[in-house]
Chains A and B, each alone.
Chain A
Amino acid sequence: MPDSIENISVRLKVNGKSYSRTIEPRKLLVELLREDLDLTGTHVGCDTTYCGACTVLMNGAAVKSCTMFGVQADGADILTVEGLEKNGELHPIQKAFGDCFGLQCGYCTPGLMLSALQLLSCNQQPDDKEMRKAIAGNTCRCTGYQNILKAIQMAANNMKGA
Chain B
Amino acid sequence: MLAQLGDDAKLLAGGQSLIPLMKLRFANPAHLVDLNFIFGTSYIKEGDGTFRFGALTRHAEIEASAAAAKIPILHDCAAGIADVQVRNRGTIGGSLAEADPSGDWATVLFTLSADVRCLGPNGERTVYLNDFIKDAYTTVLAHDELVSEVAVKVPSKGSGGAYLAFKRCAPVYPTASAAVQLTMDGDICRDAAIALGCVGLTPIRAKDAEATIRGQALTEKTVAGAMEAARAAADPQTDIRGSADYKRTLVGALVKRAIEIAVRRARGEQVEVGHLYA
Contacts and interface: CB of A to CB of B under 8 A. Distances in A.
B88 A62 contact: yes
B84 A67 contact: no
B63 to A, nearest CB: 11
A153 B21 CA distance: 36
A68 interface: yes
Contact of B84 (A48, A68, A133): A133
28 contacts: A25-B32, A47-B23, A48-B23, A48-B24, A49-B16, A49-B19, A49-B20, A50-B171, A50-B172, A51-B171, A52-B85, A61-B88, A62-B84, A62-B88, A63-B85, A64-B85, A67-B19, A67-B20, A67-B86, A67-B89, A68-B19, A69-B34, A72-B15, A72-B34, A115-B85, A133-B274, A136-B169, A136-B170
Interface of B: 15-16, 19-20, 23-24, 30-32, 34, 36-37, 60, 82-86, 88-89, 169-172, 274
Nearest to B88: A61
B88 A136 contact: no
B19 to A, nearest CB: 5
Contacts of A1: 30
Nearest to B82: A137
B87 to A, nearest CB: 9
A94 interface: no
A118 B86 contact: no
Of all A-B residue pairs in the complex, the 4 with the closest CB atoms, nearest first, are A137-B83, A136-B170, A61-B88, A64-B85
A78 to B, nearest CB: 13
Contacts of B23: 47-48
A55 B88 CA distance: 12
Nearest to A47: B23
Nearest to B172: A50
Contacts of B37: 74
Nearest to B24: A48
B171 A68 contact: no
A119 B84 CA distance: 9
A25 to B, nearest CB: 8
